[in-house]
Amino acid sequence: MPKEKKWIIAPEPSPEMVDELSQSININPILSKILVARGITNYHEAKTYFRPSIEDCHNPFLMKDMDIAIKRLIEAIENHEPILVFGDYDVDGSTSVAMMYSFLKNYCKELYYYIPDRYLEGYGISKKGIDYAKQKNCKLIISLDCGIKAIDQVEYANSKGINFIICDHHNPGKSLPEAVAILDPKRKDCQYPYKELSGCGVGFKLIQAFCIQKEIPEHLAFELLDLVAISIAADIVEVTGENRVLAYYGLEKINFNPRPGIKALLQASGLKDKITISNLVFQLGPRINAAGRIDHAHLAVQLLTSIHEDEALIIAENISKKNNTRKDFDQNITSEALSSIEENSQLLNAKSTVLFNKNWHKGVIGIVASRCIEHHYRPTIIITESNGKATGSARSVDGFDLYAAIESCQEHLDQFGGHKHAAGLTLSIDNIPSFASAFEKVVASSITEDQLTPKVNIDSYIKIDHITDKFYAILSQMDPFGPGNMQPVFAASDLEVLGEPIILKEKHLKLTVKDKGGRQKITAIGFGMAAYKSLILDSNSFELAFTIQENHFNGTKSLQLYLKDIRIH
C-alpha cells in the first residue's frame, strides 16, 4: 500500500463573507466557502469566474518584443519570404505548430513546419532543423514552445542568414539568444501581466497581435483556441487568469464545433459526452503525445491540420494504436523501475530516485518517473540511453524546486531545462553515478519531511445528503479545472457502507455509502484501492476524500464519488 497521505483541510474563511456571497449569487454555502477561499468574494468576481469573457484577454502588444516580431513577420509575408514554423515534439509543441501553420498558410505562400525527432535530435531547436530551413530558402523561423536557451543554435541560424522569432514560456537562462524577437512572458524585462501562458498560448498572442495590426477580424484567431486549450491542459500550466479564458473558449469550440482532427480523435477515444479539461489531460493529450513518443510528432500535426474528416479518422486511429503501444512500454518499464528500487536497500531509503537502464524507451521515461512517485514519493529522475548519451526525464513532489536542485548539479550535465515540477537533462553515461550522488546530496540536504509526505488537499467536509444534482450543476461550472483552480476535493465522515464492497479487475474498489442516519446513497470508486476493502469492513469508522463526477452508463446519468484517499479509524 502506498505511503499514508496527509490530509490538509482548507482553513475556514470568514463566515460573513461566505454568507454574503451565498446570498448575492444564490448558491450553497459549501460552494460559497470554496469560492471565497479561492479569492472570489463578490458578485462581480463570481461573474468573471463563472462567465469568462474573451474581452478579459490582455493586449498582446504588452509583451516584450511583440512589436518587433509583428514587424518582421509582416515584412516576411509582404516580401514573399518562405517561413519555417518550428516546434517541440510534445503536446504543447505539436498544437503550437498546428495552430501557427493553420493560420499563416492563409497569408504565406511558402510555409513549412519542422518538429525535431525526439530520438535523433532531442529537445529544442536543432541544427538539422535550421539546415532544413536553409534548404527551403527560409529567412525566418518562428519557434514555438522552445528556443529561450538556444543561444548556439540561433547564432548558427544567423550565420546562415536566417532570423528567429522565439515564442516560448520556459524560464530564460542568464543570457538570451540573438534572435530578432523573443516572446516569453517569463523574461525579467517583460511586463506582460500574465506569466503562465503555455507555449501555444504565447504563439496565439503573436497571431492575435498580427490580426490587430493587419485589421483582420480577431474571431479568426479565436477559432484556434481549441488547440490552445489542449496545450493548457496537457502542459499542466495554471488555469487562472487569461489561461482560464483561453481554456474556456477552447473547450467551447471542442464541444460545439471541433476541427476534423480533434473530432476524429474524440471518436477514436470513445468520448461522446461533454468534453472537460480532464478529458484533454487523460484522453486526448496522451494520444497526441504518443505520436512523438512512439513514432514522430509530424503525425500529430498532420492530424490537427487535417481538413478532411475521412483522412483525419485514419490518422487518429493510427495514433490511438501508437498510444496503446506507449501504454505497454509504460507498464513494463514502470514495473522494472519499481523492482529496481525495492531490491536496493540504499535506494529504498534515499530521499530521491535516480534510475538508469539503457534499454528503456525514451518516449515514456517521464511517465515512468510520475508512476514511481505514486509508489515512492520523492523527486525522481528516470534515465535511458539515446545516441550514445544519457537522457533523463525528471519529476518532482509538491513544494520541492526540482529545477533548482538539478541546476546545483549542472557540472555533471551537458544540458538541462524545465520547471520547478518537471525537467529534462542530458549527460555522459559515465557521469550518471556522480550526478546521482550529487543530486541525492542536494535533495537530502534541502527537502523537508513534509515535502516527502504525499498530501490530499481537502476543500471542505460535506454530507452525502447534500450532494444533489443542483449542487453538482453549480460545481461543474467551476470547470475548467487545473493548477490554480483545482477540482474541489471533499471529505465525508460518519458513513456507513451498504452491502459488501466490490473488487474490480483485482485492484479497484467500488462501494456504496450513505451518511449514518442519512437518506441518500451514492457509489464511490477507488482506483488501485482494493486493499482497503478488508480495512473498511474491520474498522469502527472511516472517512473518504473524493471528487464528485457525473457517471454516464447505458444512457443514464448518476453522481459518483472518485476517491482520492480513505482514512481508517
Q: Residue 1 — pLDDT band, cuts 50, 70, 90?
A: low
User: In this structure, what C-alpha cell is assigned to residue 432?
Assistant: 550518471
Distance, in Å, from the CA atom of 162 to the CA atom of 149, rounded to the nearest integer, reads 17
Q: Which of 32-36, 287-291, 541-545 has the lowest mean pLDDT?
A: 287-291
Distance, in Å, from the CA atom of 123 to the CA atom of 38, rounded to the nearest integer, reads 36
Q: What is the pLDDT of residue 4?
A: 85
Question: Considering only CA atoms, which of 281, 275, 304 is closest in space to residue 291?
Answer: 304
Question: Considering only CA atoms, which of 114, 366, 338, 414 is closest in space to residue 234?
Answer: 366
Alpha helices in 343-430 (DSSP H): 345-348, 365-375, 402-407
Order of strands across the sheet that contains 490-492: 460-461, 490-492, 542-553, 556-568, 521-526, 508-515, 495-504
User: In this structure, what C-alpha cell is assigned to residue 54?
Assistant: 474573451
Residue spans of beta strands (DSSP E) within 41-180? 83-87, 111-114, 140-144, 163-167
CB 458 within 8 A of CB 9: yes
Would you say residue 122 has pLDDT above 80?
Answer: no
Would you say residue 545 has pLDDT above 70?
Answer: yes
Distance, in Å, from the CA atom of 359 to the CA atom of 352, rounded to the nearest integer, reads 22
- Average per-residue pLDDT for the chain: 94
Question: Considering only CA atoms, which of 116, 85, 78, 117 is closest in space to residue 101?
Answer: 85
Distance, in Å, from the CA atom of 249 to the CA atom of 127, rounded to the nearest integer, reads 37
Residue of higher predicted confidence among 367 and 1: 367
Q: What is the pLDDT of residue 554?
A: 77
Q: What is the pLDDT of residue 119?
A: 76
Q: Which of 43-52, 62-71, 113-122 has the lowest mean pLDDT?
A: 113-122
Residue of higher predicted confidence among 297 and 189: 189
Residue of higher predicted confidence among 387 and 373: 373
Distance, in Å, from the CA atom of 549 to the CA atom of 475, rounded to the nearest integer, reads 10
Q: What pairing do the DSSP bridges indicate for beta strands 556-568 and 521-526? A: parallel
Q: Residue 91 — pLDDT band, cuts 50, 70, 90?
A: very high
Distance, in Å, from the CA atom of 354 to the CA atom of 278, rounded to the nearest integer, reads 30
Q: Residue 125 — pLDDT band, cuts 50, 70, 90?
A: very high
Overall average pLDDT of the 214-239 stretch: 95
CB 332 within 8 A of CB 357: no
Would you say residue 310 has pLDDT above 90?
Answer: yes
Residue of higher predicted confidence among 235 and 96: 96
Dihedral angle sign, alpha carbons of residues 365, 367, 369, 375:
negative
Distance, in Å, from the CA atom of 270 to the CA atom of 285, rounded to the nearest integer, reads 14
CB 524 within 8 A of CB 487: no
Tell me the per-residue pLDDT of 418-471, one tens digit each, with 9 for 90 and over.
778 889 999 999 999 999 999 999 999 999 999 999 999 999 999 999 999 999
Radius of gyration from C-alpha coordinates of the chain: 25
Please name the residues in contact with 69: beta carbons below 8 A apart, sequence gap of 6 or more: 165, 180, 181, 183, 206, 209
Would you say residue 161 has pLDDT above 90?
Answer: yes
Would you say residue 2 has pLDDT above 70?
Answer: no
CB 136 within 8 A of CB 112: yes
Question: Considering only CA atoms, which of 566, 452, 465 is closest in space to residue 522?
Answer: 465
Q: Residue 488 — pLDDT band, cuts 50, 70, 90?
A: very high
Residue of higher predicted confidence among 564 and 289: 564
Which H/E stretch holds residue 133? helix 127-135
Would you say residue 336 has pLDDT above 90?
Answer: yes
Question: Considering only CA atoms, which of 385, 371, 357 is closest in space to residue 326?
Answer: 371
Q: What is the pLDDT of residue 386?
A: 87
Alpha helices in 355-466 (DSSP H): 365-375, 402-407, 432-446
252 class by beta-carbon count within 10 Å (0-12 exposed, 13-18 middle, 19+ buried) = middle
CB 459 within 8 A of CB 548: no
Distance, in Å, from the CA atom of 206 to the CA atom of 190, rounded to the nearest integer, reads 15
Distance, in Å, from the CA atom of 362 to the CA atom of 478, rounded to the nearest integer, reads 37
Q: What is the DSSP string of 513-565?
A: EEETT-S-EEEEEETT-TTHHHHHHH-S-EEEEEEEEEEEETTEEEEEEEEEE
**What DSSP state is assigned to residue 178?**
-
